[in-house]
Amino acid sequence: MRSLVTLLLVLAAAGALVAKPLTVGFAQTGAESAWRTANTTSMKAEAERRGIVLKFADGQGRQENQIRAVHSFIAQGVDAIVIAPIVETGWEPVLRAAKQAGIPVIITDRTIKVSDDSLYACFVGSDFLQEGRMAAEWLVRRTGGKGRILELQGTPGSAPANDRRKAFAEVIAQHPGLTILDSQSGDFRRSGGKEVMEALLKKHGHNFDIVYAHNDDMALGALQAIEEAGLKPGKDVIVLSIDAIREAIQAVADGRISCTVECNPLFGPKVYDLVAKVVAGQKVARMQYNRDELFDSTNAAAVLPSRQY
Ligand code: AHR
């Protein structure tokens, strides 16, 4: 009889273990762009599909909000923490607190700079250096290495702004006929892209040939300013950007944007696969990059019907 009771208790405990859903805290940057909205949707929908309890915190564009959210996840004893860091630096103290609490951290979307690699388990997202390089190489092919460029940067201090700027500039520097005339931040926002473009038009008049925007939202904002100034994008100005959201691919098909390099935000499934492995104590590759494509007049229209974001 006693062994039967023991067996039932063991089975009940095992059942409880199997049934216990994972609890994950996710500190998102905010809602600055259509890309971000698609990324949040992917993270929320996939958590629901897998029965994961997701504690979602919107950082509203401020690192201090994200840090506060991570401390709160630690206090709640979540199984894992996922952070999409707004900026690259300033994460060590809160990551140390998570490590001390024994909670694994996965960095997603944007890379960070820390002196101690053991502070997070792994990174999953796009290779922003590669994106900047792809945009610049496309521009060299398209222009034959000639033209004056205005750059719309993303959020200062963020990995995508830093890397997309650096890699693009490195390629451009090899072509003396291409010059970056000016570079200002529109904070990855459509309104920011429009405002900065208006200011740049005032400063430079029509004396430029190319606009390189670090994301599609800023490019779409800049398009409005360019058209309001009486210029025809695609003819008077080459606009190129990064993300490949549906609206930008449509603009490529319409000839208003000349090229957009993909930065795929739909990696919720990949993040939770990693969470499950890390929580189970399995070893995972430290840097996991998504594969991204480039869209221009040769392939934009064909991809539109199946575009998910
Ligand atoms: O970190 C990815 C970048 O952040 C995307 O390019 C941009 O649209 C977003 O806001």
* Binding site membership of 33 for ligand 1 (Cβ less than 6 Å): yes
- Burial code of 283-305, b = ≥16 C-beta within 10 A, e = fewer? eeeeebebebebbbeeebeebee
Calculate mean pLDDT across residues 40-66.
Answer: 98
User: Between the CA of residue 32 and those of 28, 59, 170, 196, 306, what are the distances in Å?
Assistant: 11, 11, 27, 16, 24
Are the beta carbons of 266 and 309 closer than 8 angstroms? Answer: yes
Of 3-12, 168-177, 245-254, give the lowest mean pLDDT range: 3-12
Q: For residue 10, is pLDDT > 60?
A: no
Calculate mean pLDDT across residues 214-219.
Answer: 98
Calculate mean pLDDT across residues 284-291.
Answer: 96
CATH of domain 2-125+265-291: 3.40.50.2300
185 CA distance to ligand 1 middle (Å):
13
10 CA distance to ligand 1 middle (Å):
48
* Binding site membership of 87 for ligand 1 (Cβ less than 6 Å): no
What per-residue confidence (pLDDT) applies to 20? Answer: 87
- Which of 188, 242, 271, 289 has the most ligand 1 atoms within 8 A of CB, as the residue to mutate? 188
145 CA distance to ligand 1 middle (Å):
27
Q: For residue 11, is pLDDT > 80?
A: no
Calculate mean pLDDT across residues 52-80.
Answer: 98
Are the beta carbons of 62 and 217 closer than 8 angstroms? Answer: no
Q: How confident is residue 288, by pLDDT bands cut at 50, 70 and 90? A: very high
pLDDT by residue (tens digit) across 12-36?
555 445 568 999 999 999 999 999 9
Calculate mean pLDDT across residues 128-147.
Answer: 98
Q: How confident is residue 300, by pLDDT bands cut at 50, 70 and 90? A: very high
The full length of the chain comes to: 309
Question: Of ligand 1's atoms, which has the minimum distance to the CA of residue 265?
Answer: 2
pLDDT by residue (tens digit) across 92-112?
999 999 999 999 999 999 999
Q: For residue 116, is pLDDT > 80?
A: yes
Domain-wise residue ranges, the chain: 2-125+265-291, 128-263
Calculate mean pLDDT across residues 209-225.
Answer: 98
Query: Average per-residue pLDDT in the chain?
Result: 95
- Give the distance, in angstroms, between the CA of residue 68 and the centroid of all CA atoms in the same chain: 21
SS (H, E, C) 20-53: CCCEEEEEECCCCCHHHHHHHHHHHHHHHHHCCE
14 CA distance to ligand 1 middle (Å):
42
109 CA distance to ligand 1 middle (Å):
8
Q: For residue 81, is pLDDT > 70?
A: yes
* Binding site membership of 263 for ligand 1 (Cβ less than 6 Å): yes
What per-residue confidence (pLDDT) applies to 216? Answer: 98
- 2-125+265-291 and 128-263: identical CATH topology: yes
* Binding site membership of 133 for ligand 1 (Cβ less than 6 Å): no
Fold exhibited by the domain 128-263: Rossmann fold (3.40.50)
* Binding site membership of 195 for ligand 1 (Cβ less than 6 Å): no
What per-residue confidence (pLDDT) applies to 91? Answer: 98
Residue 155 DSSP label: S
Question: Of ligand 1's atoms, which has the minimum distance to the CA of residue 242?
Answer: 6
Calculate mean pLDDT across residues 296-305.
Answer: 98
Q: How confident is residue 2, by pLDDT bands cut at 50, 70 and 90? A: low
- Which of 36, 124, 164 has the most ligand 1 atoms within 8 A of CB, as the residue to mutate? 36
* Binding site membership of 36 for ligand 1 (Cβ less than 6 Å): yes
- Which of 32, 215, 266, 292 has the most ligand 1 atoms within 8 A of CB, as the residue to mutate? 215
